[in-house]
Amino acid sequence: MKVKKYTGETMQDVIFQVKADLGPEAVIVNKRKFKKGGLFGFFGREMFEVVAALEAKSADSIAELSDSKGEEADDIVEISNYGRNSKKIERTKIQKTASKDPENKNAIKEFITDLKTAADSAAEKKNRKDQLDKEEIKVGLSEKSNKQQSNHHKNSQQYEENQQQNNKKQDFNNRQKVEPQKVENEESQLTAAQKLQNKFQNKSSGSSDQSKKLNNSNQLYNYLLDQGVDSRNVNLFLKQMDSQIDGDDSDFENQLKEFLAVYFADNGEINLTADQKIISFIGPTGVGKTTTMAKIAAHFAVDKNKKVGLITADTYRIAAVEQLQTYSKIIDIPFAVCYSSSRLEEMIRGQFRNCDLILIDTPGSSWKDQLQLGRLKGYVDHSFVDQVHLLLSLNTKSSDLRSIVSKFSELEPDRVLLTKLDETSSYGDIINIKENYNLPLSYLTFGQDVPEDLEAATADQIYKYLFGDFYA
């Protein structure tokens, strides 16, 4: 049996150390809380200590245990409650299970037999009732058939005409039911990106209706308001657009495309140079940081053949470490857990020194909790972190998005990464974020597939989301 002692400032940190070292099958033998430092027991720092054990499962260890205890191991059983109130009792006093007690086993067999007998009896009664119902139906059909035959010669012509009409109606109804069902089944197998592309293609095929297009600034103004863009930001957007294009609205679509290319010129994905690049991801809880990191890691490791490393500091969320570790094994890239921001730079300079790109997953924080936001400062230190990407879910209310960006601005994010574009139909906050904070966008995500549901936040991609219903 492997027994080790762990200490930490919080019980959660200690538990994660145990799981990371001994694995999920480790058992907590003892735990205590004590104070470290201080003066005469006062002003000390509260610490937690855990003694954990991992039971050896090999055949040799079992044999050694049996030899050391001798006959006593056969007669005496020690019942342990993780180090509390342990006691030894005779094996003969332990209640036997059904598998070791013939009497209990026979009783269970009799009980199962009674159940089967009752079920067979009920099934037999049901079969007899079904048989009687079938005979009554046959008799009724026979009588009905006789009546129809007696009147057949009188109404044969009318009957044939009605039958033909009914067949035509039935064929039409069947076609109406089958075709939508077939289309629905095909669409259910598509990814979010394919569905979006089909949506744009369908709109394009029916774009002959000129009334559905945006033909001037007045129509664009009303449309952006409907998309959730603040009226102030709509005026700023149109003012910039009018200053860069001429007043001719004959080719309004191309003018809008050209302006967006300038408006979102600072957007773009992570650009790797000859030097190592370190990217840290921050954002509120549930925004999708871990999945997005896996998408970006797979994109650079698989598609671009770069050396990528993953570091997670999210030791607060259950299974966050296991999730990112699973992705790292699938992609075959190095992975590590950082329990303290003070060790982050040392870890990067050590085991990740040969990586082209290092992605750091930070704990999700509530934008209302200043203490949680303060803990993230060590993971976004611009002295060794090249870029900080703030992740925002586009299905969040506009008022909450403003508060989130305002609070997280204390960590000095360099770019914004938008997630869950497939879970909303309003994309006006893309312009709100640009106008209010002037933060460039890096990526757009629109599903759970790794790495497919990830696109660089180029002007063309944003154009499809904002105006795809009209021009795509």
Predicted confidence at residue 468, as pLDDT, reads 77
For residue range 263-308, list pLDDT tens digits in order. 999 998 999 887 889 999 998 888 888 889 999 999 999 999 999 9
Are 461 and 259 a contacting pair, CB within 8 Å?
no
d(Cα 411, Cα 381) in Å, to the nearest integer? 9
Q: pLDDT (tens digit, 9 = 90+) per residue, 59-73?
A: 454 444 445 444 444
Instruction: Output the CA–CA distances (angstroms, integers) from residue 47 to 31, 70, 175, in the order listed.
Output: 11, 42, 72
pLDDT digits (tens, 9 = 90+) for 143-159: 555 555 555 555 556 66
Give how far the C-alpha of residue 424 lies from the chain's centroid of Cα atoms, to the nearest Å. Answer: 16
Query: Could you give the CA distance from residue 291 to residue 297 in angstroms, rounded to a whole number?
Result: 10
Taking CA atoms, 188 is separated from 16, 202, 280, 470, in Å, by 39, 17, 35, 24
- Cα–chain center distance at 438: 29
pLDDT at 111: 47
| AA identity, residue 96 | K
CATH class for the domain made up of 277-456: alpha beta
Instruction: Estimate to the nearest angstrom the gap between the alpha carbon of 22 and the chain centroid.
Output: 28
- For position 116, what pLDDT does the model report? 55
Compute φ and ψ for 163, nearest 5 degrees.
-65, -40
Give residues with Cβ within 8 angstroms of 413, minimum separation 6.
282, 380, 388, 389, 390, 439
Architecture of domain 2-83: 2-Layer Sandwich (3.30)
Low-confidence ranges of the chain (pLDDT < 50): 58-59, 61-66, 68-74, 77-86, 94-108, 111, 183, 193, 200, 203-211, 472
CA–CA separation, 371 vs 378, rounded Å? Answer: 13
- Check the CA dihedral 70-73-78-83 and report its sign: positive
- The H or E element containing residue 375 is helix 370-375
- The counts of H helices and E strands in the chain are 16, 13
Encoded tokens for 77: 């059983």
For residue 376, what are the CA distances in angstroms to 340, 380, 381, 388, 461?
Answer: 10, 7, 9, 11, 31
Q: Do domains 2-83 and 277-456 have the same CATH topology?
A: no
For residue 243, the cross-strand partners are none
Q: How far is the C-alpha of 26 from the C-alpha of 18, rounded, in Å?
A: 7
Whether 30 and 50 have beta carbons less than 8 Å apart is answered as yes
Would you list the domain boundaries of the chain?
A: 2-83, 98-131, 199-263, 277-456
The tokens describing 463, both together, are 């154009």
Contacts of 456 (CB under 8 A, 6+ apart): 267, 268, 269, 442, 443, 444
Predicted pLDDT of residue 308: 94
Tokens of 261: 């290319």
